[in-house]
Structures are given as structure tokens and as C-alpha cells.
Structure 1
């Protein structure tokens, strides 16, 4: 049983490292799994348990628990949220656990609550059976799970590679300030350039030629495309939290990528270039984020690459899942 536990927990931890997620259940599960593996590696078979207070203290720091009421801890995390997230992980990676013959489960103590009777959590394993698989795995064409690609694996263009370290940047940093100046400085410079160019062509007493008109049309056309596909998405990022990365951000070898703004555990605002993707439950093709319009009134939706207008799903970046849109 010792070796089986280590094997199952290692498999789970590798999945969690690949399937990055930004939610509390993911952070708590990864923390418990890592600690359990460390204990098993030194031949310690004692249960590695954590209370909700300990989990919040480790993940969010002393300040987050100083004035927190014990009742609020139940809202912050509970066994239902942990088990539900673990079930989704097992559902996505059924074959891996089926090969081992065991699956991880979240265990908790029986307590009536109150001071001194805090609920604790730990990881255990149970035998994989067809019945358990049917309980966990509920095939549903209406539901999709997303995963987030590690930012360091997304190939950036040479210029943005100098600014984004391993695909990430802290907004309130020197690199963040440089990026801000470059983006909005470029917009102001281009606006002044267009104004100056137009003013030069319409000088008093000079007639327009067909070539001048062509230059003007090309200039305003390029300005419109730059605004729509580069300036406006970046302007919308703080509100939308996720946008499609403009083509100038990524290497020519990359087909597409996404830019996400989020907060880390220290409440720092960060921006990273990543890629959200899923597997279409209908045809098993890849699902990627695309613009929701014109058929859906959403900024971004998950579209199947094989049937982008029939197999369309909503996108929830917190829960990393979505539902089929009609």
C-alpha cells in the first residue's frame, strides 16, 4: 500500500503541475499532495493532515487569517469543493489512474464543529472499479474542462521575450512600466504621425492625386486594424482578464495564444501569456478560445477547431470549465 500511495500521489501531482489552475481547490489539493509525497519519500506513513486554517495560512499568509471568523473558513474551502475538483481531474485523466488500479480521494474527519473540533483534510487512495468510474465519470456533451498551458512553453516574439520573463510580468515593476510606455507611447506616436501625414497632404493650394488618396486609404486602414486587433484588446484586458494575444506578441511559429491578468497569493497584479484549451466532448477535437461575436454576446468562447460554430462552449477562467452554448 505504501508504494501504491506514492505512485498514485505522484501521478496526481504531475497532472496538477501540467493542468495549471487559478482556484483555491487546486492550490489546496496541490499543497496536500506535495506534502504527502514528501512524507512517503522518507518512509513516513503517518497521515499528512491540514485544517482549513492551516491551508489558508500557508496559501494566503498570516494577514488573511488574523481577523477571519471560523465560519468564514467553511465558505473559503470545504470537502465538497475539494472532492469536486479532484473528481474533475480524475475524469480528465481516467486512463492514467486506470492503469495504476487506484485513484486518489479526499478524506476528512467527522466533527460537529466548534472550537477545538476543526475539520481536517488528507489524501488517501481507493481501488479503481468500474462502479467508481461510472460515479466519477459522467459523460456530458454539454460540459467541457479547460487547461492552461505553462507560460514558459508559449513562444513569444523576440521583442516581447525581452520583457516577459518566462512568459510572465509583474505589472508594477520596471518591466511592467516599460511595457506600459511602449504600448501607449506607440498609440500616441501613431496618432500624431497620422495627423501630421494628413496635414502634409492637404496643404493649402495642393491638389490630391490618386497616389495621395491611396496612401491615405492605406494609412487609415492600417490604423483601424491596429486599433481593433492590437490597441483595443490590450485596453480591455484589465476588465476582461483574458484576451487573445495580438500577433505581434507571439512568434511566427505559434498559431495563437492568450494573455491573462491575475493576482498571485501576495495580491500582486501579474500578466502572463498562456494558452487555454480543452477537448471537445462531442468530436474529441481541440477547443481553443476565440471571439464570441457575432453569434454569441461574449468576449471569448471556446470553439472546436473542427466545428467552430456548432461546438461552442462558455469559458470560466476561475473554474476552468464551461457549458455548451446553443
Structure 2
């Protein structure tokens, strides 16, 4: 192994735990991650071997009471949680000029008290090409990063990772066309029905029924159409787990190519988040209102009406929308 790979990965993980302030930051899996990287930091910095540990290396007095049963469960959860933050780890690696980010893997499963499960902090080359350094972010702007979702519901699992290739591509385009045709048929049928009515009640009833049918069609199919055309939208509520406020549905390019050379895209359910440059609270992406209607914006959890930012999923940067906060950010940075 190249010298300092392990040191680089451990430092990246330790910085992540130090800076992470998401909604689960104070839960037990993240406490276990903190212990893992603290244990790794205590190892010889010149050692180029990956850090290997068992639950006993992380245990405190409370863990000894149940022979580490709860700690073992939380180690497994911690492995999953860390994998959910690959984007943030790449961002931290870029920020601190580190070449590697950590991945925790289980080496072997213990078969009794004398054969403990062993885990390794595996260094993986960080993807630093697409990350904007904090020093390069314009003053007052925020930098968005991706947080993976811990657990999708059944419908979300069907959609997440659905790539538009082969029969699936034809089914996708066919669904959009069918929705457009149905909307046209309902509209024409509604107009004909209106002309045939002879009473006010009949007119109102027909208008209401036609509007309900078109509304139901719009609710059912518009997210698909809007996501394909706009590339990213706020995910429909039915796709969002009950413990989360908002997610995004993204029509993202993949490494696959069609026969004509065009890029294959796939649907991804993602969560773009940031840290408010005004107050430091968490920023989440939602639909814009007023002058920002039709666009996505970042809203601060502490002040969602005032601390509002633009959102671009390509550059992953956002600027304060209200001019007074642009001035506040500029002043605070100068001071």
C-alpha cells in the first residue's frame, strides 16, 4: 500500500465526524464512527497498513456490561451510515488536500468469544474533480453536497436507479405520450359535453368532473414529465420517507451510452443539503415561491422565509436571493 493512504483516509473520516451536523449527527452510529476514527488516529501515523479493529478496541465501560452486543449492532449501522456520505467525504478530501476517503469493511465474522469480528478502514481514492473548494466559493454563496437516503420505501426503491435503456426507455416515453393523449381526449370530451348541457347544474357538474380528471392525470404523470424536461424536481411526497422533510428526484446521466452515442440517464432520489452562510443552520432544497416559482431553492431550517438561496445541481452552488443578505454575508466575511 502506498505510504500515508491509511493516514489520509483516517484524517478524512475524522474531519467528517467533526463537521457533520445533520439530523442524525448525535445518534449512536455516528458516535461509533467517531470512536473508529479516534482509534485510527491513535495508530502510528507512519504505518502504511490499513487500520483494523474489533468491537473491543472501541468499547467503553458501558459496552462491557452486555459484552458489546449493542456496540456490535451499531458498528454495522455505522458502516452503512458512512457509505451514505461518499459525496461529503469527497468534499472534505478536496478541502484538506487528501487523496483518500475511508470505507469500512468487515474482514471476517466472529464465531464465538475467542473469534471476534474484525473490521478494516479501507482507503479509497477520493473523487475530487467535481468538488468546488471552499476557497473558490464566491463570498456569501453556499456549497451543496449530496446525502444518501438511509432507507427508501417500496415505490422509491422501484424508481431509484431506473435507467432509460432498451424497453424501459420505450416504456418511459410511451407513458409520457399516453398521458398527453389522455389529457387531450379528456379536454376534448369535456368541451363537447359542455356544449351539450342545457342547465347551469349540468355545466358546473361537467366542468368539475373534467377538472378533476385532468387534475388527477396531472398529479399522476407531471412529476415524470417535469423530471425528464427539467432534470431535477422536488420528489413527490409519496417517495419521501416519513422522517424526512424533502428529497429531490433527479434524471441523472450515467456512464452508459446508447447506440447513437447519446448518454443514458437514470432516475435517482437524492438529498442536496448545505450549511447556511448567514446563520450556519442546515439548508434543504424545496420548490421556490413568488419570483422563484418554477425553480428550486435552498431554504434554511432556522429561517426558511428569509435565508433563501438559489440552487444549481450542476455547479452545486447557491447565492442568497435577497440582496440585504448578500451585503450581510460580504460584511461578515470582510470582518
Q: Which category of TM-score, normalised to the shorter sequence, fits these structures?
A: 0.5 to 0.7
Q: Which runs of 5+ in 1 are unaligned?
A: 60-75, 89-135
Q: How does 1:31-110 map to 2 (within 5 A)?
A: 32-33=99-100, 85=133, 88=134
Write the distance in 2 (CA, Å) between the matches of 1:36 and 1:25: 15
Find the counterpart in structure 1 of residue 234 from structure 2: 244
Matched residue, 1:295: 291
1:282 maps to 2:278: yes
Report whether the alignment pairs 1:320 with 2:313: no
**Conserved? CA contact 1:302–1:315, under 8 Å:** yes
Provide the residue aligned with 2:59 in structure 1: none
Paired residue total: 232
The answer to whether the 8 Å contact 1:187/1:231 transfers is no
- Does 2:250 correspond to 1:260? yes
Per the alignment, do residues 237 and 5 of structure 1 end up closer, same or farther by CA in structure 2, a change over 3 Å counting?
A: closer
Taking the TM superposition and a 5 Å limit, the aligned residue runs for 1:186-201 are: 186-200=179-193
RMSD in angstroms over aligned alpha carbons?
4.9
Deviations 1:50-88 (A, max 9, x none): 9xxxx9xxx9xxxxxxxxxxxxxxxx96xxx87x64xx4
| Cα distance, 1:272 vs structure 2 | 0.9
Secondary structure at 1:325 match in 2: coil
Name the CA shift for 1:293/1:6 in 2 (closer, same or farther; >3 Å). closer
2:146 is the counterpart of 1:143: no
Instruction: Give me the whole-angstrom Cα distance separating, in 1, the residues matched to 2:243 and 2:203.
Output: 36
Q: How far apart, CA to CA, are the structure 2 residues paired with 1:295 and 1:311? A: 15
Asked if residue 18 in structure 1 is aligned to residue 9 in structure 2, the reply is no
Q: CA deviation at 1:236?
A: 3.9
Question: 2:162 aligns to what SS in structure 1?
Answer: strand
Give how far 1:261 is off: 1.8
Stretches of structure 2 that go unaligned for 5 or more consecutive residues are 21-81, 106-119, 257-262, 323-335
CA contact (8 A) 1:300 1:315 kept: yes
* CA positional deviation for 1:249: 4.6
- Whether the aligned pair in 2 keeps the contact of 1:241 and 1:261 (CA below 8 Å) is yes
Deviation at 1:275, TM superposition (A): 2.1
Query: In structure 2, what is the Cα distance between the partners aligned to 1:186 and 1:36?
Result: 44
Taking the aligned partners of 2:237 and 2:207, their CA distance within structure 1 comes to 24
String of CA shifts for 1:248-284, please: whole Å, max 9, x gaps.
5556776432111222234432221222222323344
Displacement after TM superposition at 1:8 (Å) = 1.8
Deviation at 1:213, TM superposition (A): 1.1
Pick the aligned partner of 2:10 from 3, 7, 13.
Answer: 7
Distance (whole Å) between structure 1 residues aligned to residue 208 and residue 85 of structure 2: 46
Distance 2:11 2:98 in 1: 15
**Are the counterparts in 2 of residues 304 and 311 from structure 1 also a CA contact under 8 Å?**
yes
Name which of 153, 160, 163 aligns with 1:170.
163
Give the Å deviation of 1:292.
Answer: 3.1
1:163-242 map, 5 Å: 163-164=158-159, 167-200=160-193, 202-203=195-196, 207-210=198-201, 212-220=203-211, 223=214, 227=218, 231=221, 234-242=224-232
